[in-house]
A and B are shown apart, each in its own frame.
Chain A
């Protein structure tokens, strides 16, 4: 997998409009889905209690339900988990009080010999966390734009932030489509992807900046396009290798990491794919479009100021 940038036929620029349209359509669909279908909000964002019961061997939803009825409770939902379905997860919307919780715990201790996990939440905590996450992303975005403007140039910062929101929205859209339950670690995953997305975009932009310095004259769109394409091809091996290694880690967590990490690692896998896609096909292309407009404006101004003298 070595990409020779002198002879390569890879062209990341030519089809940019198709990628822009694909992303725009996909994200628009995502926004519509988010607005109508919404996300499958887990117990972290609702008022209620979930109880994880672990048995020695395979259990059925019926069996778990019967046990709860013995204590005088009816779960709103029961799902099974674990390799051999030895874990039952019962949710109660509205929540259980302390006495009910203690009764459930002692009952299942007697039956299965394990203390069940009990989480009771009010939606305040989850909602606050989500709101804080959104606020922190916005603050981080401003910070990143400032940093990139100082180290690079304003247009790079803008393009990087567009790519960042693209990736975050991408994950939300996918989760809205598959209706996987969203919990607090999911927020952590989205934030990780944002960090990764920035990392990935900056590496590409760094190469563009470097190649721009080598160029003697960058006059018009085709000059810029050549530089951008060359930079993308040069960083392609790195982009692919990095995403592969991180995917190994995230994929292993997804397949082998257990239920606690499933949502988290699935969000990571989706985000990694989205992040790589946006770094290769969206971020640099947006910069290219913005930069060529800027060049045009400068040339236009130059022509205007030169005219009176002519």
Chain B
């Protein structure tokens, strides 16, 4: 008979030291990490527009350069709005997605984005007299009309004689035709007669020119308020868009609805995770405790990694996180079943643990690599919402590999190697009568 070796208490102490350290770490900063995660529009409220980009003049093509120019022009405009952290991305060949989280005045934001800000000066026959390229760049500003004290926008003409010539030409025309229409976003099919009658007209103002104006500064009156005049000046300075934007898809989420979906998803997640924990504890007994510990570490780590990646948490992302718990549990289950198999075949606790961990590794590896393969393809081909889901899935699988394979092995190893579990198969959910003689 071999002499039974004593219990190595040091390992048990080490186990509790690790758990306490981990618990302290999680308790102190899980709140910070959870609060730091940037929420998607579907959770936070805000709005998102997907634009299709078409060049203004038919000859030019949509290329990378044009798209980047458009993105910087849009960025400059959003600065006018004062939105923090706008997210503008180029998608595919000719799409731009703009995401503005937490925008309170969606109406203003949408109008601000969709205008091309192409200023043009035309006579009543829609003949072009002057456009944005004739103006001093960044020279638009809000001021007040010297006589009426109404808010106006002034722009400065590059060529000192150009405006003089235009006004000379117009002032010579008969009354009713001596009008200089100031257009925003004029299109080929627009005409002065139609547009001037509209309530929400593209013609900002249509002053009558009675005399020659020998000045470089052009005043634009348009029944502005101080705010709207400042905004127009801001847009004009931000620069005209080199393209025409068509809304393909627009989505806006009210803040309270977003909050509600997030609360419900998190609530559902907690219930799901609690059920998983309970099941693991009942079915795997002692190993279930290890599973619960590593799963807790898993959820914490996913949050931390997600934060590091600066990824945006969306509703499908929360779903992937919760689903990831299920996948992480799978790695535990595969290992635990293997250990039980080895115990049933009559191996000692220590060698069953070793053989079970080793043999389960290749299974887990193969299963996870194939799933990552699928998630990678999903990320590569998906658009924003699906991509958020794929990122979360990949992060989940990699993290679950660390916690459920190495974490569980470390923690369970401490107990097994301490010999305290020797000859206690019931702790692993294996009954004595199931064990076959070697």
- A interface residue numbers (CB < 8 A to B): 1-2, 4, 52, 54, 87, 98-99, 101-102, 105-106, 114-122, 124-125, 129, 132-133, 135-137, 139-140, 143-144, 147-148, 151, 184-185, 187-188, 191-192, 194-196, 198-200, 202-203, 206-207, 210, 234-235, 237-238, 241-242, 244-246, 248-253, 255-261, 264-265, 268
Contact across chains for B260 and A258 when beta carbons are under 8 A apart: yes
- Least CB distance from B285 to A in Å reads 13
B341 to chain A: which residues have CB within 8 Å? 234
B275 touching A252, Cβ below 8 Å: yes
Cα distance, A286 to B375, chains bound together (Å)? 26
Decide: B373 and A143 in contact? CB cutoff 8 A. Answer: yes
Q: In the complex, which residue of chain B has the Cβ closest to the Cβ of A259?
A: B261
Chain B: CB-nearest residue to A251: B272
Whether a CB of chain A sits under 8 angstroms from the CB of B410 is no
Indicate the member of B45, B366, B382 with the most A CB atoms within 10 Å. Answer: B366
Closest to B338 in A: A238
Query: CA separation between A250 and B430, bound complex, in Å?
Result: 29
B256 touches A114 (CB 8 A): yes
* 10 pairs of A and B residues whose beta carbons are closest in the complex: A252-B272, A246-B326, A258-B264, A256-B268, A115-B254, A249-B272, A248-B275, A136-B381, A257-B268, A119-B251
What is the CB-to-nearest-CB distance from A153 to chain B, in angstroms, rounded to a whole number? 13
Docked complex Cα distance between A245 and B264 (Å): 20
Shortest Cβ distance from residue A197 to the other chain B in the assembled complex, whole angstroms: 9
Contacts of A242 in B (CB 8 A): 326, 329-330, 333-334
The answer on a CB contact under 8 Å between B323 and A192 is yes
Distance of A20 Cα from B62 Cα, bound (Å): 52
Q: When the two chains form the complex, which single residue of A54, A137, A203 contacts B260, counting CB atoms closer than 8 Å? A: A54
Q: Which residues of B contact A (CB under 8 A)?
A: 42, 45, 50, 106-107, 110-111, 114, 200, 247-257, 260-261, 264-265, 267-269, 271-273, 275-276, 279-280, 283, 315-316, 319-320, 322-323, 325-327, 329-330, 333-334, 337, 340-341, 344, 359, 362-363, 366-371, 373-375, 377-378, 380-383, 385-386, 389, 393, 430-431, 434
Asked, given contacts A105-B107, A129-B382, A199-B370, whether A54 binds B256 with beta carbons under 8 Å apart, the answer is yes
Asked whether, in the complex, the Cβ of A195 is within 8 Å of the Cβ of B375, the reply is yes
Question: Whole-angstrom distance from the CB of A48 to the nearest CB of chain B?
Answer: 11
Q: Indicate if the CB atoms of A122 and B382 lie closer than 8 Å.
A: no
Q: Is the CB of B326 within 8 A of A249?
A: yes
* A192-B317 Cα distance, complex, nearest whole Å: 12
- Nearest-neighbour CB distance to chain A for B30, whole angstroms, equals 20
The docked-state distance in angstroms from the alpha carbon of A129 to that of B382 is 7
Q: Tell me whether A185 and B385 are in contact (CB under 8 A).
A: yes
B271 contacts across to A, CB distance below 8 A: 252, 256
Q: Which residues of A contact B45 (CB under 8 A)?
A: 115
Task: Using CB atoms, name the residue of chain B closest to A236.
Answer: B337
Inter-chain contacts of A259 with B (CB < 8 A): 261
Cα A264 to Cα B389 with chains together (Å): 12
Which residues of the other chain, A, contact B268 by a CB distance below 8 angstroms? 252-253, 255-258, 261
Query: A98 and B264: CB pair below 8 A?
Result: no
Can you name the residue of chain A whose Cβ is closest to the Cβ of B267? A256
Q: A98-B110, A249-B272, A260-B261 are in contact. Are A195 and B252 (CB under 8 A)?
A: no
Shortest Cβ distance from A258 into B: residue: B264
Residue contact B325 to A249, C-beta cutoff 8 Å:
yes
User: Nearest Cβ distance between residue B37 and chain A, in whole angstroms?
Assistant: 18
Known A124-B248, A144-B374, A195-B374; contact A245-B330, beta-carbon cutoff 8 A: yes
Q: Report B-chain residues with C-beta under 8 Å of the C-beta of A132.
A: 381-383
Please give the distance in Å from B199's CB to the nearest CB on chain A.
Answer: 10
Bound-state Cα–Cα, A151 to B363, Å: 11
- Contact across chains for B329 and A245 when beta carbons are under 8 A apart: yes
Taking the closest CB of chain A, its distance from the CB of B115, in whole angstroms, is 11
**Does the CB pair A118–B374 fall under 8 Å?**
no
Contact between chains at A241 and B377 (CB < 8 Å)? no
Contact B370 A257 (CB under 8 A): no
Contacts of B334 in A (CB 8 A): 203, 238, 242
Q: In the docked arrangement, what's the CA distance between A251 and B322, Å?
A: 11
- Check A136 against B377 for contact (C-beta < 8 Å): yes
A37 CA / B267 CA spacing, docked (Å): 36
Whole-angstrom distance between the Cβ of A140 and the nearest chain B Cβ: 4
The interface residues of chain A lying within 8 Å CB-to-CB of B264 are 256-258, 261
Are the CB atoms of A117 and B252 closer together than 8 Å?
A: yes
| A2-B434, A119-B251, A238-B334 known, 12 other contacts, Cβ within 8 Å | A99-B200, A102-B110, A115-B106, A140-B374, A188-B385, A198-B374, A199-B327, A199-B367, A202-B370, A245-B325, A256-B267, A261-B264
